Chain A
Amino acid sequence: MMTAARTISFKLNGMPVTADVKPHHNVVEVLQSQFSLTGARETCGQGLCGCCTVVVNGRAVSGCLYLATFLDGTEVTTVEGLDTPQKLHSVQEAFIETSAFQCGYCTPGFVLMTTQLLDEHPDPDDEQIKHYLTGNLCRCATYPQVIEAVKLAAKKRKGS
């Protein structure tokens, strides 16, 4: 029985880490408060907007609805884990080149979901893109540009 804070271990963007979490802490607040990673952010708080997207064991989840304690023993990727000091991820490049964002608050979620989408559908059509990304909302409504970005990212991925 776990009553209070507990130390969990997991891999964060490839690095083994530990964190002290209480059962009521969610993933977003732990990433922000203990690792200063602010790319996953809580907006709607209901798993509907996608701003809090993180990838746990290869699957995207809503960090605002995911208890941090459940990260114990997992591999976690956040948007900060995609690029290297030398090079952006091809999805990130595609978002910049197509200007597929405005305020940028929802962008990390879109970028992470796009990497997942392309793993599953390397050459997606419009319907597949819309369907896969339907759980990500953008109040600046850059949806048409995101579709362009995803297609450009698919092209870049094939090229590399």
Chain B
Amino acid sequence: MTMTHDAPKAGSQVGRSVPRLEGRDKVTGRAEYTHTMRLPGMLTCKLFRSTVAHGRIKSIDTSEAKKVPGVFAVVTIDDVMKVIPDPYYGPAFHDQPILAHEKVRFVGEPVAAVLAMDPHVAEEAAQLIVAEYEELPAVYDEVDALTTKTYVHDVLKPAGTFADLKHLKDARDTNTALDYRLRKGDVDKAFAQAAHVFEHEFKTQKVLHLPFEPHASIADYKDTGVTVYTASQGPSFVRTEIARLLGWPENKVRIKVPYLGSGYGAKLYIKLEALVVALSMIARRPVKLALTFEELFYQITKHPSTFRIKSGIDKDGKIIARKCEVFWNGGAYADIGPRVTQKSGLTASGPYEIDNVWIDSYALYTNVTPAGALRGFGVPQLVWAYESHSDMIARALKLDPVEFRRKNLLREGRPHATNTIIKDAAVEKVMDHVLDRMNWSKPFDKSTGVVKRGRGFGISIKAVITPTTSVAIVNVSGDGSVTLYCGTIDMGQGSDTAMAQMVGEVLNVPTETVRVVPRDTDVTPYDMGTLGSRSLFHMGHAVQRAAADARDKLKALAREVGEPEGSNIPVRDLFVKKYGMQAGNVIGTGIFKPDYIPPAPGTGLSENVTAFWMVSGAGAEVEVDTETGHVKITKLVNVVDVGKAINPRIVETQISGAALMQLGFTMFEKMHIDGGQVTNASLADYKIPGFHDVPTVMDNSHVDTNQANGPFGAKGVGEVATFCVSPAIANAIDDAVGVRLTELPLNPESVYRAIRAKAGKPLEDE
């Protein structure tokens, strides 16, 4: 197909299941990832990590390590501060030192770095470092963290980026890194009037992303500028933060990101980059740090949470009041925890229309591995609680769980708890689709044998992180070929392909011919980050605008060279007419930032709190072995509202992958921690789903909707299918055997213990 400057027909690229553009490189093993990259003269770094959860560093003895032949340097924070005097970084708080400084705050915190050409030498030397600590009391539990006199940080240091953290500047004697609140109506009065009041507490465990390409960064420092190759979901932020640490303008910092061996939120904001830059400054050579699988357990995790939820129900089954107290276990450094606390916190009351809502959501420091965003920015923890709660209320009131929800669902045009009016959120349609795929209205055989059957479902809503900015550039070359420059990281979600489809749609060229430039902040423009299912919507808009800008400029060029209106000459000929040969470019640019009204201080209310709503539902059928507590998931239905699917096959893969990942978090994944130490830091002891964990029937679909303000009617999909898996399964277990689990994971022992407790014969503890 020859590209012409005037796109005659639309609809040929968007909505098509284009095979992934990078597929060939991935199936041949030639795709580039930071973890397997090498630079000439590169040193490898291995870390010496803290063995105490909370302590003052008395001494670090590196003498034996330095004696190992082949060791180039052993670096502690004192060395780092000679090149970066203020070595603290982080997106929400400048709380994390490049290496431990004065104190250590979790087991596994990097304390010293060994550099050598041979990784085995560095590893051996790191084992010879000895540190002495004055041990301090430690806090591990998120609820304890609110009231304890043990403080993880002496003084809080908000980064200044987020308005709602400013009041925490210089705060002392607290572990609270954000206290988000929403106040709507009068909950106390409504509870007093309610016919029934239900209060439950739910917990989630500590789990982690485990990207199969563990974190890796390489820095190549020169006095004229630094280049960082890194497995990052947010190169623009890394650039800003490195520039800040060095006191440099951003243009001297270059961040290059090849493909990512997945992220799920693990590689957001800044991780290893500040350390490798400091090490490269010290060594004056390229330095690489690539984590091992075990070290992932000391990098970033999901937030464990405690959620106390209380609902007042009137005599007709309408929820008239809801009070939510959510405690987020953020670990030793805030990372993006405060955003998780606020951005998910505001939807803690669920996809229901409730007149009186009270939400307190606390980000809390503790002495464990830091927590960040994991495929849902906290929303899976919330949905686990509020959709379990929904079923518990319905069961207690002997109401049909479908009708109870239907009576309370948020509908189009109605106000959410924040006061933002619901628009393009197909809550009821998604629920009905789940029920349809579950054959909910048909009789269900629960069985009477040792193995009992049950079914359950859940429904959820999420607001996208707002407001954020994306910029894109579309470049049409002299031969008419098209190149897209955008900062969205393709970490497996297929964004390169989807963005290219949008360019192809606007410029009427086949998607397969569009080149998407690998991420490099020297050439790809700003993007806030690949997170929170924001990219397809935000970057999609920017890309669409950039492509439209290029198209307009091509039309202007045609007029300029005297082409009559309606002429459709090939683009190459247009350039030849203008420049006398195959030469020149047409550059289109696009910027997108949605409208937004920040939540009002005190009440958390806002008429426009999100650029769009995400909606998903899930249904599960299970078989519970009553003799052992084993739960087999025989059917898992996942339904999401994605607006219009840009690439239906990729959408389906995303839904399926997200649901299966959450299945692991629901059924068995758990970081075991003893005295602050993770005791199962390996794939042998921390299990993730494999082939045999896939439910017998997986039924994934999206409802046919249109996101009116989205690019080509689309919105994000990466996280959304995780939300309802946990409560759907817990509700199904309750349906099967009449026990209610309120803490994840729902592993066989937990289920068995609950069955025994219900029978009045509780199993003894250890």
CA distance A49 to B657 in the complex (A): 17
Cα distance, A43 to B119, chains bound together (Å): 16
Q: Which of B672-717 contact A (CB under 8 A)?
A: 682-684, 688-692, 694, 698
User: Which residues in B have their C-beta under 8 angstroms from that of A79?
Assistant: 27-29
- Asked if B127 is at the interface (CB within 8 A of a chain A CB), the reply is no
Contact check: which of A24, A92, A99 meets B28 at CB < 8 Å?
Answer: A92
Q: Is the CB of B22 within 8 A of A82?
A: no
- Shortest beta-carbon distance from B723 to chain A in Å: 16
Bound form: Cα–Cα A144–B17 in Å: 17
B17 proximity list for chain A (CB < 8 A): 99
Q: Which residues of A contact B22 (CB under 8 A)?
A: 104
Interface: B67 (CB within 8 A): no
Known: A134-B690, A141-B660, A145-B656. A41 touches B213 (CB 8 A): yes
Contacts of B33 in A (CB 8 A): 38, 41, 105
Is A72 engaged at the interface, CB distance under 8 Å to the other chain?
Answer: no
Is the CB of B133 closer than 8 A to any CB of chain A?
no
Residues of A within 8 A of B660 (CB): 141, 143
A160, B267: Cα distance in complex, Å: 43
In the complex, B492 has a CB within 8 A of chain A: yes
Q: Is A80 an interface residue (CB 8 A)?
A: yes
Q: Which partner residue on chain B sits nearest A110 by CB separation? A: B27
Closest chain A residue to B33, Cβ basis: A105
**Chain B residues, Cβ within 8 Å of A45:** 292-294
CB distance from B548 to the nearest CB of A (A): 28
> With an 8 A cutoff between CB atoms, is B90 at the interface?
no
Q: Name the prevailing secondary structure of the B interface residues.
A: loop
Q: Write the nearest CB–CB distance from A119 to chain B, whole angstroms.
A: 18
Alpha-carbon distance A142/B262, docked complex (angstroms): 13
Q: How far is the CB of A88 from chain B (nearest CB, A)?
A: 7
Whether B212 and A139, one on each chain, are in contact in the complex, defined by CB atoms closer than 8 angstroms, is: yes
What's the Cα separation between A155 and B584 when bound, in Å? 47
Q: Is A51 an interface residue (CB 8 A)?
A: yes
Contacts of B30 in A (CB 8 A): 38-39, 80
| Docked-complex contact A105 and B657, CB < 8 angstroms | no
A103 adjacent to B261 (CB under 8 Å): yes
Cross-chain contact A130 with B212 (CB below 8 angstroms): no
Q: Does B650 contact A (CB under 8 A)?
A: yes
CB contact list, B6-20 vs A, under 8 A? 17, 19-20
A residues 69-119 near B (Cβ < 8 Å) are 78-80, 82-83, 88, 92, 95-97, 99, 101-108, 111
A46 lies within 8 A of B29 (CB): no
B24, A46: Cβ atoms closer than 8 Å: no
Asked if A140 is at the interface (CB within 8 A of a chain B CB), the reply is yes
Q: Is B23 an interface residue (CB 8 A)?
A: yes
Interface size class, chain B: 35 or more
The smallest beta-carbon distance between B272 and chain A, in angstroms, is: 17
Pick the contact of B691 from A29, A44, A107, A134 — CB < 8 Å?
A: A134
- Expressed in whole angstroms, the Cα–Cα distance for A105 and B262 within the complex equals 8
Contacting pair A107 B649 (CB below 8 A): no
Contact of B690 (CB < 8 Å), options: A83, A101, A137: A137
With A78-B29, A88-B27, A139-B661 known as contacts, the answer to whether A145 contacts B212 (CB < 8 A) is: no
A24 with B120, Cβ < 8 A, contacts A80-B30, A139-B262, A140-B657 known? yes
- Of A43, A51, A103, A143, the most chain B CB neighbours within 10 A belong to A103
The answer to whether B28 touches A141, judged by C-beta atoms less than 8 angstroms apart, is no
> B260 contacts which chain A residues (CB < 8 A)?
103
B29–A102 touching, CB < 8 Å: no
CB-contact partner of B657 in A51, A88, A102, under 8 A: A102
> A18: CB under 8 A from chain B?
no
Q: At the interface, yes or no: B36 with Cβ under 8 Å from chain A?
A: yes
Mark interface residues in B437-466 (1 if CB within 8 Å of A CB, else 0): 000000000000000000000000000000
A57 within 8 A of B: no
Select one of A46, A51, A139 contacting B210, CB under 8 A.
A139
**With A101-B26, A104-B31, A140-B657: A46-B262 Cβ-Cβ less than 8 Å:** no
Inter-chain CA distance A130–B696, complex, in Å, is 12
A2 to chain B minimum Cβ distance, whole angstroms, is 17
Q: Which residues of A contact B26 (CB under 8 A)?
A: 101, 104, 107
> Which B-chain residue is minimally distant from A129 (CB atoms)?
B691
From A96, A111, A144, contact of B698 by CB (8 A): A144
Task: Tell me whether A46 and B650 are in contact (CB under 8 A).
Answer: no
Determine whether the beta carbon of B494 is less than 8 Å from that of A102.
Answer: yes
B698 CB contacts on chain A under 8 angstroms: 144
Q: Mark A4-29, 1 if CB is under 8 A from B, else 0.
A: 00000000000000000000100001
Indicate if B567 sits at the interface (CB-CB under 8 A).
no
B292 to chain A: which residues have CB within 8 Å? Answer: 45
Contacting pair A133 B683 (CB below 8 A)? no
Give the contacts of B107-122 with A (CB-CB under 8 A). Answer: 119-120
Knowing A102-B494, A104-B261, A144-B656 touch, does A44 contact B683 (C-beta < 8 A)? yes
Q: Is the CB of B661 within 8 A of A141?
A: yes
B211 CB within 8 Å of chain A: yes
Q: Is the CB of B35 within 8 A of A101?
A: no
Interface size class of A (residues with CB under 8 A): 35 or more
- Per-residue 0/1 for B209-251: is the Cβ within 8 Å of any A Cβ (1 yes, 0 no)? 1111110000000000000000000000000000000000000
Residues of A within 8 A of B493 (CB): 102
What per-residue 1/0 map shows which CB atoms of B636-677 lie under 8 Å from chain A? 000000000000011001101100110000000000000000
- The contact of B24 among A39, A40, A88, by CB within 8 Å, is A88
Query: Which residue in chain B gives the minimum CB-CB distance to A82?
Result: B28
Residues on the A chain within 8 Å of B657, using CB: 102, 140-142
User: Is B300 part of the contact surface with A, judged by Cβ < 8 Å?
Assistant: no
Q: Say yes or no: is B407 at the interface (Cβ < 8 Å to chain A).
A: no
For the complex, is B151 an interface residue (Cβ under 8 Å from A)?
no
Q: Is A61 an interface residue (CB 8 A)?
A: no
Using A137-B688, A142-B657 as known contacts, say yes or no to A49 and B212 having CB atoms under 8 A apart: yes
Residue of A at shortest CB range from B37?
Answer: A38
A105 touches B213 (CB 8 A): yes
Q: Is A3 in the interface zone, CB < 8 Å from B? A: no
Check A105 against B649 for contact (C-beta < 8 Å).
no
Q: How far is the CA of A73 from the CA of B22 in the complex (A)?
A: 35
Question: A140–B656 Cα gap in the complex (Å)?
Answer: 9
From A32, A99, A105, name the one whose CB has the most chain B CB atoms within 10 angstroms.
Answer: A105
Q: Are B690 and A111 in contact (CB under 8 A)?
A: no
- B294 contacts across to A, CB distance below 8 A: 45
Smallest Cβ distance from A17 to chain B, in angstroms?
17
Q: Is the CB of A103 within 8 A of B19?
A: no
Q: Nearest chain A CB to B27's CB is how many angstroms away?
A: 4
B100 within 8 A of A: no
Would you call B211 and A139 a contact (CB within 8 A)? yes
| Residue B259 is within 8 A (CB to CB) of chain A in the complex | yes
From A33, A38, A78, A103, B212 is in contact (CB under 8 Å) with A103
Chain A, Cβ-Cβ closest to B260: A103
Contact between A44 and B213 (Cβ–Cβ < 8 Å)? no
A123 to B4, CA, bound (A): 47
Q: Which residues of B contact A105 (CB under 8 A)?
A: 33, 211-213, 261-262
Q: Residue B694 contacts which of A46, A82, A99, A143 (CB distance < 8 angstroms)?
A: A143
Query: In the assembly, what is the distance between CA of A111 and CA of B28, in Å?
Result: 9
5 A-B Cβ contacts within 8 A? Answer: A96-B20, A101-B27, A108-B29, A137-B690, A138-B212
Given contacts A99-B19, A103-B261, 16 further A-B contacts (CB under 8 A): A38-B29, A39-B28, A39-B29, A48-B684, A78-B29, A80-B29, A99-B23, A101-B26, A107-B26, A129-B691, A130-B691, A141-B656, A143-B660, A143-B690, A145-B653, A145-B656
- Would you list the 10 A-B pairs with minimal beta carbon distance, nearest first? A39-B29, A104-B26, A103-B492, A102-B492, A105-B261, A141-B660, A103-B262, A79-B29, A38-B36, A44-B683
Chain B positions near chain A (C-beta within 8 angstroms): 17, 19-20, 22-33, 35-36, 38, 119-120, 209-214, 259-264, 292-294, 491-494, 649-650, 653-654, 656-657, 660-661, 682-684, 688-692, 694, 698
Q: Identify the A interface with B (CB < 8 A).
A: 24, 29, 32-33, 37-41, 43-46, 48-49, 51, 78-80, 82-83, 88, 92, 95-97, 99, 101-108, 111, 129-130, 133-134, 137-145
